[in-house]
Amino acid sequence: MPRLDHLRIPIGPGEMHAERYGFGDHPLVLLHGFATSTFLWRQVAPALPLGRVTAWALDLLGHGESDRPVEVDYGVAAQVQWVERAMTALRIGRATIVGVDLGAAVALRLAATRPARVHGIVLISPPAVGRVRGDDLNELGHVAASHLFEASRGMLGAAAWLGPLLTSSVASPEAMPAKLVARYAAPFVGSDGVRHLQALAAAIRDSDADDLDFGAITARTMVLRGELDAWCRPEQAAALAAAIPHAELRAVPAAGRLVPEDAPDALAALLASWAPPVQASALAVPLHAPD
């Protein structure tokens, strides 16, 4: 098993949790999506060619094992600032950024607003053009409004809310057993955790896509969806790929939204063959205050 290092990265309002795999010259930054964490990459990162790449899996601020500072913006535009600060602290000048759903929205905005920091982006199950908040979060709102959710809150906590979303995000229900749902829901145990999860969902705003300039993206880009993804439909993925200069469009067979869960080996092989070569540069990059 490849060596795995856990790090805490100070980024201003708190610390972000990171996991490092490998010590290669090519940095890959792996960003999870809503309701998941660095745990999503547990089968993908070790399968990468770690003599050639260094994979950094980050917990977005407020998610997973990262801090949850109060009165901090957890929207996509703010997460871009926190990810860039983490890259600076880790002395990553340029990287290939790989993101799933919410993480894809962060990667896309980072590539558009900080093109010098991004050498390539892989957008897995990204939101539609002009959107950040997908239909999945709207479905979560319906669950949260139900009496069933209120009744089960104390006993099951976030698992009662996230279970339907996570189960619908993989190719078959068997791929997301109750034990795995509980693992993803673990950072949100108890009523305080559920309230924080609701706050994270509320922070995801479509307005964060209003000023996105696709023409500013210079990074090599791949839009990737699982063929069984119910939320990122083929026409939406194609429209996004068409909007980004020279972007490639690909699909993974027999996979849902959470491609790292359904097809980790296939995804690792694709990243290994596709990622454009770049050496990690140790630069001092000025920190930007959140927009």
pLDDT in tens, 75-109: 999 999 999 999 999 999 999 999 999 999 999 99
Is a pLDDT exceeding 80 seen at residue 2?
Answer: no
The pLDDT value given to residue 159? 83
* Three-state helix/strand/coil letters over the chain: CCCEEEEEEECCCCEEEEEEECCCCEEEEEECCCCCCHHHHCCCHHHCCCCCEEEEEECCCCCCCCCCCCCCCCCHHHHHHHHHHHHHHCCCCCEEEEEECHHHHHHHHHHHHCHHHEEEEEEECCCCCCCCCCHHHHHHHHHHCCHHHHHHHHHHCHHHHHHHHHHHCCCCHHHCCHHHHHHHHHHHCHHHHHHHHHHHHHHCCHHHHCCCCHHHCCCEEEEEEECCCCCCCHHHHHHHHHHCCCCEEEEECCCCCCHHHHCHHHHHHHHHHHCCCCCCCCCCCCCCCCC
The pLDDT value given to residue 153? 53
The pLDDT value given to residue 144? 59
CATH topology of domain 4-132+207-274: Rossmann fold (3.40.50)
Average pLDDT over residues 49-61: 96
The pLDDT value given to residue 93? 94
Structure tokens at 107: 């990667």
More confident call, 137 vs 11: 11
The pLDDT value given to residue 151? 38
Residues with Cβ within 8 Å of residue 14, at least 6 apart in sequence: 61, 66, 67, 68, 69, 72
Average pLDDT over residues 65-72: 94
Average pLDDT, the chain: 89
Structure tokens at 39: 């745990």
More confident call, 166 vs 3: 166
Task: Band the pLDDT of 193: cuts 50, 70, 90.
Answer: confident
pLDDT in tens, 211-241: 999 999 999 999 999 999 999 999 999 999 9
The structure tokens 């390539």 sit at 120
Is a pLDDT exceeding 70 seen at residue 148?
Answer: no
